[in-house]
Amino acid sequence: MISIRLPQELEKKLEEFAVKEQMTKSDIIRKALQVFLENQELREQPYLLGEDLFGKCGSGSASLSTEYKKKVREIIHANKPD
């Protein structure tokens, strides 16, 4: 079991939120701590933070970064005089 001291203003906000959401203060703190710890784990693995975004900006194609060299070669060969 853990007990913590909160600044009066924070405790008041917590109490108001608990009443509004019909939750216990312990449940709110437990959930907040869980989210905080999960975010800390993600910070340790930066790739996971943007995994769903990588390669999708601009063109809408997610394969551009993996096919870049191939596309450059095709452009060079297409512009080469025979």
Same domain, 59 and 46: no
Tokens read off for 33: 């701590």
Determine if the pTM surpasses 0.85: no
Distance, CA of 8 to CA of 16 (rounded, Å): 12
Domain span at residue 16? 7-51
Same domain, 62 and 46: no
Q: If you average pLDDT over each of 30-34, 35-39, 45-49, 75-79, which comes out highest?
A: 30-34
Distance, CA of 63 to CA of 68 (rounded, Å): 8
Q: How does residue 39 score in pLDDT terms, banded at 50, 70 and 90?
A: confident
Same domain, 15 and 45: yes
Same domain, 59 and 32: no
Query: Which residues are CB-contacts of 42 (< 8 A; sequence separation ≥ 6)?
Result: 48, 49
Give the tens place of pLDDT for each residue, 40-82: 876 777 777 777 777 666 666 666 667 778 888 888 888 777 6
69 lies in a domain? yes
Same domain, 40 and 64: no
Same domain, 14 and 40: yes
Does residue 46 contact residue 54 with C-beta atoms inside 8 Å?
no
Distance, CA of 52 to CA of 42 (rounded, Å): 13
Count the domains in the chain: 2
